[in-house]
């Protein structure tokens, strides 16, 4: 499993309205719930539990909220871009505009860490960050993610 496996239109939601972290996490959970056959509140709870340990914002307008959820059978990734900035308490104080949201089963910690590592790796690329923030549609998000994954050998 690698980040390229998650580059598809059904996993991408663009220009979501969110006022705060709770709105942002709810939007992310709502996007993933049908695919995971999970309850939105259960997914939000998993994301909030992790967020309480410390902000998942990594700076430069991006965050990687993630959670382990009982009943989820495999690692899942959603990409969510907001219409406007959301304060996530980022280390560089920049508001978040884009989320990489990971849900995984508790019994798959290696897979969970592997996808988080790959996300962190591609987000180091300024060209990817810019492309994701400016992409006019989901197809361009997919193309940008695939280009970055190829460049990183993922």
Domains of the chain by residue range: 3-151
CATH topology classification for 3-151: Mannitol-specific EII; Chain A (3.40.930)
Tell me the C-alpha distance between 129 and 127, whole Å. 6
Please list the pLDDT of the chain residue by residue as tens digits (154 residues): 789 888 899 999 999 999 999 999 999 999 999 999 999 999 999 999 999 999 999 999 999 999 999 999 999 999 999 999 999 989 999 999 999 999 999 999 999 999 999 999 999 999 999 999 999 999 999 999 999 999 998 8
Residue 56 near residue 79 (C-beta atoms within 8 A): no
pLDDT given at position 1: 79
Closest to 139 measured CA to CA, from 6, 4, 12: 12
* Residue numbers annotated as active site: 66
Token duo for residue 54:
């410390």
pTM: 0.94
Tell me the C-alpha distance between 122 and 143, whole Å. 13
pLDDT given at position 4: 87
Token pair 């549609």 in the structure block, residue: 137
């Amino acid at each position: 499993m690698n980040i390229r496996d998650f580059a598809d239109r059904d996993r991408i939601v663009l220009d979501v309205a969110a006022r705060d972290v709770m709105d942002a996490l709810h939007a992310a959970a709502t996007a993933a719930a049908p695919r995971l056959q999970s309850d939105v509140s259960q997914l939000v709870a998993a994301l909030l539990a992790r967020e309480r340990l410390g902000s998942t914002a990594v700076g430069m307008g991006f965050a990687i909220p993630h959670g382990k959820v009982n009943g989820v059978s495999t690692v899942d990734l959603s990409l969510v871009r907001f219409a406007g900035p959301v304060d996530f308490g980022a280390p560089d104080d920049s508001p978040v505009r884009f989320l990489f949201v990971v849900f995984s089963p508790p019994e798959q910690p290696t897979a969970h860490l592997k996808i988080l590592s790959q996300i962190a790796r591609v987000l180091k690329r300024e060209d990817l960050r810019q492309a994701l923030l400016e992409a006019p549609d989901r197809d361009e998000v997919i193309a940008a993610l695939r280009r970055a994954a190829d460049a990183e050998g993922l």
